[in-house]
Chain A
Amino acid sequence: MEYFLELFFGGLTRGSIYALIALGYTMVYGIIELINFAHGEIYMIGAFTGLIVAGVLTAMGFPALAILAVALVVAVVYCSAYGYTMEKIAYKPLRGANRLSPLISAIGMSIFLQNYVLLAQTPNFLPFPNLIGEFEFMEDYAHILGSANLVIILVTAAAMVALTLFIKYTRMGRAMRATAQNRKMAMLLGVNVDAVISLTFIIGSSLAAIGGVLIACHTGQINITIGFIAGIKAFTAAVLGGVGSIPGAMLGALVLGFTESFATGYISSDYEDVFAFGLLVLILIFRPSGLLGKAPTQKV
């Protein structure tokens, strides 16, 4: 039972991280029908930003949890700026072009950002300090649920709730949904679609930045390729749930996290990816539009 719980919380942690990244993919796709392949790099840049902040503040002698809070805030701001700029440089000029062009631009952006960090930082793995530490009240449960896992799950849950409330109840959230459903009509009603698209990139990048810092604390090391790997997994999660659907991305991420965790725990860690992508293949065969995605219908 304890082993099961350990795997359960392990899966929940993985799922949380995937969800934070997958939301960026799915929201951008929902609005401009682009798979932003450079999204994983934003997550990687978030982790690097966190490391730099942690380095500076540790040298100044701040307590770990305060450093974590500052690192999260700085990473969110920094990555938002990256996401915003990326859209303006790489995607906005291609709006109205055929669908392949922005896709190629996204891949180019991904390669550029990876190599930029490689040159500016290092190609090697860097140790990342565990800013979360071990909570005393968690000591008895540490073998089931580590403190880092707990923080990841809680922060992710808070971010999901905040995002859902924003999308559902605010004026801009409603405008985002309207723009996703029919961009021309949203424009006719006076929605500044450029602003909505920018906001989408900012929100997606913020969530990825949070994910980048948190998972780095958990795994203890980062390098320039972490964005690619996490990005592919999160993209898988988004497709599983139905790309374009926000609850779908959350669900898809959890399903993927649990699948990987249980496959690793009960079968073999060698087969982790086999099960993850096998699941994707099954979903694509039996529910091509994803778990919560809708098959395109049109009413005349």
Chain B
Amino acid sequence: MLELKNVNAHYGAIQALRDVSIRIDQGEIITLIGANGAGKTTTLMAICGIVPPSSGTITFEGKAIQGQPPDRIVPLGISQVPEGRLIFPELTVIENLNMGAFLRDDKPEIKRDMDYIFDLFPVLAERGTQRGGTLSGGEQQMLAISRALMSRPRLLLLDEPSLGLAPLVIRQIFEIIVKINKERGTTIFLVEQNANLALKTAHRGYVMEVGRITMSDSAQNLLADEGVKKAYLGLT
């Protein structure tokens, strides 16, 4: 479905991605784990067209998308929940959700998706006319995921969804992520620092170190790997 081949990306003179190759198949939950500053977020930004790769190819369903602007990539069916959630604080919950559907004009279908989301997260329906900035961290994460769903993505990119949330809320969010994957068949690319949680949720995983993919395997094998255990799971 999505394939990155030898992708390199730079911020000025600093190289953030080095020959990154990742393959994601339809219906999978794939995770990318790695330390702070490894290039995980840059990978997502490259897919979405915010940080255009300096070389390499990114293909989505057979179509080359590298170097395209985000407003051409979103309608293809790729949507991102960015790190830190980036809720529009002065927009209401409903306005935030409508921004997710910015490039769509099929009103009845948008309404249906909003109903689905209110079903998924009833608390968002209660808070509909409240400003996004007044929500709690967990509610904001739910809103960020919902906003991304409003573009009806076939590939959902999630950047650190567990960041700064209480364990109970994290569990709830991850249950929903799995549910979205199962119910809607949405393919999920999950970037996480919480490697244990990510690998337990995903089917396959990639490990990233200083801009390079250093390992890729099934999530089970990665969980059992001694090197991964030492470096990312805090076990010895």
Interface: A214 (CB within 8 A): no
A187-B86 contact given A171-B102, A174-B95, A299-B133, CB 8 Å threshold: no
In the complex the two chains form, is B86's CB within 8 Å of A184's CB? yes
| Bitwise interface map of B from 65 to 106 toward A, beta carbon under 8 Å scored 1, else 0 | 000011101110000101010101111000100111011000
In the complex the two chains form, is A189's CB within 8 Å of B91's CB? no
One of B86, B95, B151, B164 near A190 (C-beta < 8 A): B151
Bound-state CA distance A175–B103 (Å) is 11
Interface: B50 (CB within 8 A): yes
One of A185, A192, A299, A300 near B71 (C-beta < 8 A): A192
In the complex the two chains form, is B102's CB within 8 Å of A189's CB? yes
Interface size of B as a range = 20 to 34
Interface: B195 (CB within 8 A): no
**Interface SS, A side:** helix
Which chain A residue shows the least CB distance to B80?
A: A188
In the complex the two chains form, is A175's CB within 8 Å of B102's CB? yes
Q: How many residues of A contact B (CB 8 A)?
A: 18
Return chain A residues, CB-CB under 8 Å to B133: 299
Interface: A177 (CB within 8 A): yes
Bound-state CA distance A181–B95 (Å) is 13
A174-B99 contact given A181-B91, A185-B88, A188-B50, CB 8 Å threshold: yes
In the complex the two chains form, is A189's CB within 8 Å of B89's CB? no
The number of inter-chain residue pairs (CB within 8 angstroms) is 64
Interface: B48 (CB within 8 A): yes
- Nearest Cβ in chain B — how far from A294, in angstroms? 9
| Bitwise interface map of A from 34 to 66 toward B, beta carbon under 8 Å scored 1, else 0 | 000000000000000000000000000000000
Return chain A residues, CB-CB under 8 Å to B95: 174, 177
Bound-state CA distance A185–B100 (Å) is 10
- The 9 A-B residue pairs with the shortest CB-CB distance, nearest first, are A190-B74, A185-B86, A190-B103, A190-B71, A181-B88, A192-B71, A187-B70, A178-B88, A178-B99
Task: Apart from A181-B90, A191-B99, list 12 A-B contacts with CB within 8 A.
Answer: A175-B102, A177-B95, A178-B99, A181-B88, A185-B82, A185-B86, A187-B50, A188-B48, A189-B74, A190-B103, A299-B133, A300-B164
